[in-house]
Amino acid sequence: MNNYTGSMIKTINRFCKGFKAHLLPATAGLILAFSLLPGTSQADGRKLNAEEVEIVSSVNDYLNSFDNMEGYFVQTGPSGKFTSGRFFISRPGRVRFEYEPPSPLMIVADGTWVSIENRQLKTSEHYPLRTTPLKIILAKNIDLLKTADVTRAFRDESRITITLHDRGIIENGEITLVFQTEDMTLKEWIVLDGQGLQTRVSVSDLVTGIQRSRKLFFIKKPDFPESDR
């Protein structure tokens, strides 16, 4: 694996987790499924209180209220460098992140595979969707209490924040999702990796309910053995 490919893998893990995250989520993104009991946080060894469980449940309701979402993102990396672009989500399983020039990056998930494409070099890397943090935010039914270690949930008059610990993708890392209290709109997510490096993704101009053609999420299937599919 060359340095550029390694950088792409780190980018998709950070970006998609949240979206968890969406998503999202590095996102990044987001998280491999853990066998957790509802309402428990194994990351810090305590149970969430009733208010925290209610907050997370309200976020689940919001994330499950739409199958299709698109909008604009601005990503700030650990070095302070900005990248931006548009994203399109079609649950279950499909997403497209189009980075604006000068970034050559495009990330597409077709329901089975995730493709990280360098449009300048005309190269691409493929990874099973189930092994990336996108798995959580693109699930048919999102339940953060079952698929992540929720360590903190907080709500005030202006924002709701939920912090999730993910041992599966980023060792000793965490992702914080930020929503607007008034209408539950997703505003940003912040990924902190095990080395203390922070990636922030802010989203805007969100639109739900537009069903895009599946051609938007098409990727050329990798020629892997059947056992890897």
CATH number where 117 lies: 2.50.20.10
- Number of domains into which the chain is organized: 1
Mean pLDDT of 122-136: 84
pTM of the prediction?
Answer: 0.73
Q: Is residue 226 one of the residues assigned to a domain?
A: no
pLDDT tens profile 152-193: 899 999 999 998 875 455 455 678 899 999 988 999 988 887
CA distance 189 to 26: 8
Closest to 29 (Cα-Cα) out of 168, 216, 209: 168
Q: Is residue 219 one of the residues assigned to a domain?
A: no
Q: Is the pLDDT of residue 100 over 50?
A: yes
Q: Is residue 8 one of the residues assigned to a domain?
A: yes
Q: Is residue 224 one of the residues assigned to a domain?
A: no
Are 72 and 58 contacting, i.e. CB atoms less than 8 angstroms apart?
no
pLDDT tens profile 16-55: 443 333 333 333 333 222 222 233 344 455 688 999 999 9
Q: Is residue 174 one of the residues assigned to a domain?
A: yes
Q: Is residue 119 one of the residues assigned to a domain?
A: yes
Domain containing 43 equals 3-214
Q: Is residue 220 one of the residues assigned to a domain?
A: no
Closest to 118 (Cα-Cα) out of 224, 13, 229, 12: 12
Closest to 197 (Cα-Cα) out of 78, 51, 20, 36: 78
